């Protein structure tokens, strides 16, 4: 095993428990509900998160939990698990395997362990602070891309850039890059970590959307911040940029900050 961490076994256990639940619902008829923020949720989302929460509560009752579907528990704890049972519910509903189960562990608000798990494709990225990122236990590395004009840039969709400044930043970044790719969901973080993309720009995110990506991107040699260049924590805002190359990241930040100034 390349990675090591006192809670890595638990992270794998959570992802392993989530997989059969997700697989049992995939490409099957589903009841779909719309939440207050207009995002979608299914019985699959709820069942997967409930499964993971029950494991944490049973084995690590002193740990906190923040999940997309069932909210916060014990957020004052030193260790808090951040859970997104299906990041990319729209893709899941339409049978497109760009969705992931996202699991991260924050220590005093800082993401120190992250799992991006794609159950249908049998792919699992593991990131641990200070250690190399792995995909199915093999080390992966982001590729070099010095300039935004040469970059493949990802986002889930233009419709997620809602506020005026977010729209301006999106338009500036995507018009400056070489190749835009849409509909990526959190799968884009994994692609950047393994050298198949260069930049990801997103808006309208919550901690469960990005915390797992922090150690994954950083362990692959990349960088992930908010649009002001600040490190991401459980308390960060909704604007995120991730890059495989620090030089490209700095260019991307400059473009975003100029657009939203």
Q: What is the mean pLDDT of residues 45-50?
A: 95
pTM of the model: 0.96
Q: Are 103 and 16 in contact (CB under 8 A)?
A: no
Residue 39's pLDDT is 77
| pLDDT at residue 65 tops 70 | yes
Q: Which residue has the higher pLDDT, 64 or 29?
A: 64
Looking at residue 38, what is its pLDDT? 58
* pLDDT attached to residue 136: 98
Mind listing the pLDDT tens digit for each residue in 212-260?
999 999 999 999 999 999 999 999 999 999 999 999 999 999 999 999 9
Q: Report residue 41's pLDDT band, with 50, 70 and 90 as the boundaries.
A: confident
**Residues 158-182: pLDDT tens digits?**
999 999 999 999 999 999 999 999 9
Q: Cα-atom radius of gyration of the chain, to the nearest Å?
A: 17
| Predicted confidence band of residue 1 (pLDDT cuts 50, 70, 90) | low
Per-residue confidence (pLDDT) for residue 29, from 0 to 100? 86
Residue 36 has pLDDT above 70, yes or no: no
Residue 2, pLDDT score: 73
pLDDT at 163: 95
**pLDDT, average across residues 81-101:** 95
Which structural domains are found in the chain, ordered by start? 8-137 (3.30.540.10), 148-260 (3.40.190.80)
């Amino acid at each position: 095993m390349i990675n090591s961490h006192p809670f890595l076994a638990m992270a794998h256990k959570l992802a392993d428990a989530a997989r059969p639940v997700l697989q049992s619902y995939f490409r099957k008829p589903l009841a779909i509900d719309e939440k207050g923020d207009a995002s979608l949720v299914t019985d699959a989302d709820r069942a997967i998160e409930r499964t993971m929460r029950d494991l944490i509560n049973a084995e690590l009752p002193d740990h906190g939990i923040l999940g997309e579907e069932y909210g916060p528990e014990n957020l004052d704890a030193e260790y808090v698990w951040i859970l997104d049972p299906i990041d990319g519910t729209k893709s899941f509903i339409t049978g497109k395997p760009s969705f992931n189960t996202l699991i991260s562990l924050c220590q005093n608000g800082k993401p120190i362990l992250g799992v991006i798990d794609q159950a249908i494709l049998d792919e699992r990225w593991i990131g641990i602070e200070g250690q190399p990122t792995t995909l199915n236990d093999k080390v992966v590395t982001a590729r070099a891309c010095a300039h935004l004009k040469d970059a493949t840039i990802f986002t889930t969709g233009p419709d997620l850039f809602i506020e005026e400044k977010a729209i301006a930043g999106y338009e500036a970044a995507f018009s400056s890059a070489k190749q835009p790719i849409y509909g990526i969901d959190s799968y884009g973080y994994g692609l950047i970590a393994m050298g198949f993309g260069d930049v990801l720009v997103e808006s309208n995110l919550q901690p469960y959307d990005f915390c797992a990506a922090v150690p994954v991107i950083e362990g692959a040699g990349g960088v992930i911040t908010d649009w002001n260049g600040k490190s991401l924590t459980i308390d960060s805002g909704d604007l995120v940029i991730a890059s495989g190359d620090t030089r490209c990241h700095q260019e991307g930040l400059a473009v975003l900050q100029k657009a939203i100034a």
